[in-house]
């Protein structure tokens, strides 16, 4: 009796379906926890605190794309991926994160011209650190997505939310940190997620900070160019 080999597209479809299930489950669970978290925080903080963080988020939203420059998509879509590509992506994302964070730190006072609230300035500067923190896990997250390990990402998302918002956020709010408890929770979630995914693929990214040389610079440029090319095709289409 012969066994029919599993077709690649069948395996891929099954993996995609599992990914959708895990991602959906994590999103629903996180949404439920967010309702509870918000209800508790609303009793601990002044409503103005939520408004200030929301205003800071509006300012920082513009930096999200520039802090990534499509590097994550390039890793996922690249036909063949080497360790050098991973090191180049990690280095590029870290440099971009540092650059964007530095720009927002320096230009934060200008947000007063638009938002008319000077209390937003220190919040923008603090939350801008999130660009640096997120850059640590960008490449690792992309590797897990490329390998379709969505179950791992989903579990980590839930764990990060519980520890960051349930632990750091609520804990600092109870301690009287006020609006800064919201900032701390946001940064903690990014940090836990980033370190978590990095730990999972650290072997592949060994020697990641070997910056320098034309080869490394060329790979960094190639990764960015690949994604910019994809974006251009989408726009033209």
The Cα–Cα gap between 204 and 83 comes to 6
Of 179, 188, 71, 217, the closest CA to residue 129 belongs to 188
**Over residues 178-193, mean pLDDT:** 96
Quick count: other Cβ atoms within 10 Å of Cβ 14? 12
More confident residue, 202 or 97: 97
Is 103 a residue whose pLDDT tops 90? yes
Of 85, 72, 112, 77, the closest CA to residue 194 belongs to 72
Output the CA torsion sign for 168, 42, 121, 106: positive
Q: What is the mean pLDDT of the chain?
A: 83
Please give the structure tokens belonging to residue 234. 């989408």
Is 56 a residue whose pLDDT tops 70? yes
Contacting residues for 36 by C-beta, under 8 A, at least 6 apart: none
C-alpha of 116 from chain center: 29
Quick count: other Cβ atoms within 10 Å of Cβ 140? 26
Is 39 a residue whose pLDDT tops 50? yes
Is 232 a residue whose pLDDT tops 50? no
Query: Residue 163: pLDDT band by 50, 70, 90 thresholds?
Result: very high
**Over residues 33-43, mean pLDDT:** 95
Percent of the chain with pLDDT over 90: 52
Continuous segment of H or E residues that includes residue 147: none
Q: What is the pLDDT of residue 178?
A: 95
Weakest mean pLDDT among 53-67, 149-163, 183-197:
53-67
| pLDDT digit string, tens, across residues 122-152 | 999 999 999 999 998 999 999 999 888 899 9
Is 182 a residue whose pLDDT tops 90? yes
């Amino acid at each position: 009796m012969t066994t029919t080999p599993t077709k690649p597209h069948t395996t891929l479809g099954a993996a995609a379906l599992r990914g959708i299930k895990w991602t959906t489950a994590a999103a629903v669970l996180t949404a439920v926890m967010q309702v509870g978290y918000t209800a508790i925080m609303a009793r601990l903080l002044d409503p103005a605190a939520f408004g200030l963080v929301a205003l800071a988020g509006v300012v920082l939203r513009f930096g999200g794309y520039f802090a990534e420059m499509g590097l994550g998509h390039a890793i996922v879509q690249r036909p063949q991926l080497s360790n050098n590509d991973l090191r180049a992506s990690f280095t590029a994302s870290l440099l971009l994160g540092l650059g964007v964070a530095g720009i927002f730190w320096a230009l934060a006072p200008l947000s007063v011209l638009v938002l008319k609230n000077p209390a937003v300035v220190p919040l923008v500067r603090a939350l801008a650190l999130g660009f640096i923190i997120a850059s640590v896990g960008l490449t690792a997250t992309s590797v897990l997505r490329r390998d379709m390990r969505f179950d791992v990402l989903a579990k980590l998302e839930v764990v990060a939310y519980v520890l960051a918002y349930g632990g750091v956020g609520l804990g600092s709010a109870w301690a009287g940190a006020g609006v800064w408890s919201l900032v701390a929770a946001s940064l903690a979630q990014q940090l836990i997620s980033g370190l978590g995914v990095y730990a999972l693929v650290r072997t592949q990214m060994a020697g990641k900070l070997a910056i320098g040389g034309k080869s490394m610079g060329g790979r960094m440029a190639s990764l960015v160019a690949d994604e910019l090319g994809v974006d251009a095709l989408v726009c033209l289409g």
